[in-house]
Amino acid sequence: MKNEKERYDLSPKELPEKWYNIIPDLPTPPPPPKDPDDGPSRMDNLNKVFSKGVLDQEMCEDRYVEIPEEVRELYRQAGRPRPLIRARGLEEELETPAKLYYKSEFESPTGSHKVNTALPQAFYAKQQGIERLTTETGAGQWGTALAYACSLVGLDITVYWVRAASSWKEERRNLMQLYGAEVHDSPSTQTKIGKEMLNEDSDHEGSLGIAISEALQDAKRDENAAYSLGSVLNHVLLHQTIIGLETKKQFKMAGDYPDVVISCVGGGSNFGGLAIPFAADRINDGKETEFIAAQSEVAPNLNGDYRYDFGDYAEQTPLMKMFTLGHQSAMPSIKADGLRYHGAAPIISALKNEGFIDTIIFPQDEEYVFDRAKTFIQSEGFLPALESAYSVAAAIDKAKECKRKGEEKTIVFNVSGNGFMDMEGYRDVLGLG
């Protein structure tokens, strides 16, 4: 054992008091969302379905936004601040001169970083007198996080769950139900768009874009309900900056600073959460930090076109400027279903457009990725979520590159969730007995 510290803990008192909004610092801020040329106004729709608290934050131009004391208390109840861990075991296993650190979002009570935005979103809805939230979920982590938050603040919740994942993640469905959620496989018979899709194909495996359309239609027809989104939007990324703000304090404790920041990208919320506070230093302090986004070849949205596109299949959201594969593009299902979304968050897209972000695209069969997760499990002892395995794999590949080139870089990666309910994914792909 070397005598440098392995783990950097902040006390509950050191929990950040403000979220960080990068938009005022961006050289070219993302252009605002807008309505398409024809059809009803989707911008008006936004005002109808979102709670006021998050809508204000969506348009916010302040650099820092106070975290309400009630939300800070909920964050503490959920176990924040979370440790930053030096990956000594992994470094030794890889014989790399690089220094590896990871942020432990897998310590979340429901299994992912999504709790960081679920709690404030539920808090603002409750404060406004809303009774029920509707949402979509892909891998199931977002639905669980929001069900957890709703149970803590006292709201009902309806979840539309992409069938590609709901068909094999029975335990996650039960966890959402334990938190009091009503869960529908999507496409469902609950909404007009769901019925249309089922008419086309009664075994339709669904997509996040379709599930978002269903949750929006549900919220629109009930004046006591609001809709809640787990990634992509500015307010979601704002809430997630708690990850990177904590991590920056922890690097100060360690007397170190990352040369490379890595995470997986579906819509971009966990990547943004870690990366955005460090991207600010690149903009304002001339740091040369590298940012790497890990994606699947079934949904490499950051390599798509940078243009205005809808956020959902049925074109109910406003148009947002983002790197996109097209809002109705078919993406084969993978085990890491949380990474299967057609577009990257407008803020992440703006950073990509500035040349801040490199992407690494992993093969569809996922064996390459889950095999590297196995190396992490055996050297660090934690079980990453299937999506987080992409972050781990990208960090391992970077550490190996450092070894080849003899570079002593400091690398930080986010382990966005735990894989306790993902075992079937690992089993199928790695052929476990």
Ligand X SMILES: *Cc1c(COP(=O)(O)O)cnc(C)c1O
Give the one residue of 20, 75, 124, 142 binding ligand X; rule: CB under 6 A: 142
Of 130 and 302, nearer to ligand X (C-beta) is: 302
Distance CA 31, CA 320 (A): 8
- Least distance (Å) between residue 344 CB and ligand X: 8
- One symbol per residue from 263 to 282: x for binding ligand X (CB under 6 A), - otherwise; what is it? -xxxxxxxx-----------
Among 139, 314, 350, 411, binds ligand X (CB under 6 A): 139
Angle 208-220/192-200 helices, nearest 10 degrees? 140
Interaction of residue 141 with ligand X, rule CB under 6 A:
yes
Among 158, 231, 295, 333, binds ligand X (CB under 6 A): 231
Give CA–CA dist 208/213, Å, rounded. Answer: 9
Measured from each CB, the residue nearest to ligand X is: 417
| C-beta of residue 191 within 8 angstroms of C-beta of residue 185 | no
140 vs 194 by CB, closer to ligand X: 140
x/- site string to ligand X, residues 334 to 363, per CB under 6 A? ----xx------------------------
Residue with Cβ nearer ligand X (104 or 127): 104
Q: Which is nearer to ligand X, 266 or 346 (CB)?
A: 266
Distance of CA 272 to the CA centre of its chain: 8
- Give how many residues touch ligand X by CB under 6 A: 21
Quote the least distance from Cβ 334 to ligand X, whole Å.
12
32 contact partners, CB below 8 Å, separation of at least 6: 59
Instruction: Say which residue the tokens 């199931």 belong to.
Output: 140
CB atoms within 10 A of CB 266: 31
List the one residue from 96, 207, 388, 410 that touches ligand X (CB under 6 A): 388
The nearer residue to ligand X, 126 or 342, going by C-beta atoms, is 342
**Residue 261 near residue 233 (C-beta atoms within 8 A):** no
Separation between Cα atoms, residue 111 and residue 382, nearest integer Å: 12
Candidates 11-19, 62-70, 383-391, 398-406: pick the segment binding ligand X (CB under 6 A).
383-391
Angle between helices 367-380 and 423-430 (to 10 degrees): 120
The amino acid at 334: I
| Helix ranges restricted to H, 328-433 | 346-353, 367-380, 388-405, 423-430
Interface residues with ligand X (CB under 6 A) are 112, 114, 139, 141-142, 231, 264-271, 338-339, 385, 387-388, 416-417
